[in-house]
Amino acid sequence: MGWITKLIVLGVVGYGGYEAYLLHKGGYFDLPAMPYGSYTVSFKSGLRGIVLDAEVSNDALADSHKIFRRLSDANPDRRYLGIPFDVPAWFKDVWSTCVKPSEEELQYIEASLSEDAKQQLTGARLDAFCYIETDGDQRIARGLVYSVPNL
């Protein structure tokens, strides 16, 4: 084998290893079962969620393997922002369920945001409220998913 072939093989193996590292860091190897049409979001902040009933422009991914069902890929015209809430350390890496907030919840969330947060989220749309279910009916608020146009 020539040195060019070795470099190509090394590059492919290195790229594959890096992608596997990113999937592990994003929690994609620990994904629970996902219903049809749900999508994942995973942020560097640690907020991970399965978004149910998301509005997407490209629903071709709705039935693909769960690792490939990323909300940003199904909706490339929007950029997603995750605002995590403080939770105990044992909940930080748990996948949460994210749903579109009701009108009442939307008003409550907007009223509870600080002026600084409101200013930083100017032009952003609240797409999902994320929570973790524990012990049956108990829900722990995990975070918010906003989106802005991908210009």
pLDDT digits (tens, 9 = 90+) for 61-81: 777 878 888 888 888 999 999
The pLDDT mean for the chain works out to 87
What residue type is 99 in one-letter code?
A: V
At residue 27, the pLDDT reads 77
Q: How far apart are the first and last CA of the chain?
A: 46
Domain boundaries, the chain: 1-30, 32-149
What is the distance between the alpha carbons of residues 83 and 60, in angstroms, rounded to a whole number?
A: 27
Instruction: Quick: pLDDT tens for 31-50.
Output: 888 888 899 999 988 899 99
What is the distance between the alpha carbons of residues 122 and 109, in angstroms, rounded to a whole number?
A: 14
At residue 3, the pLDDT reads 87
What is the distance between the alpha carbons of residues 46 and 142, in angstroms, rounded to a whole number?
A: 10
At residue 51, the pLDDT reads 93
Strand partners, 70: 40
pTM metric for this prediction: 0.81
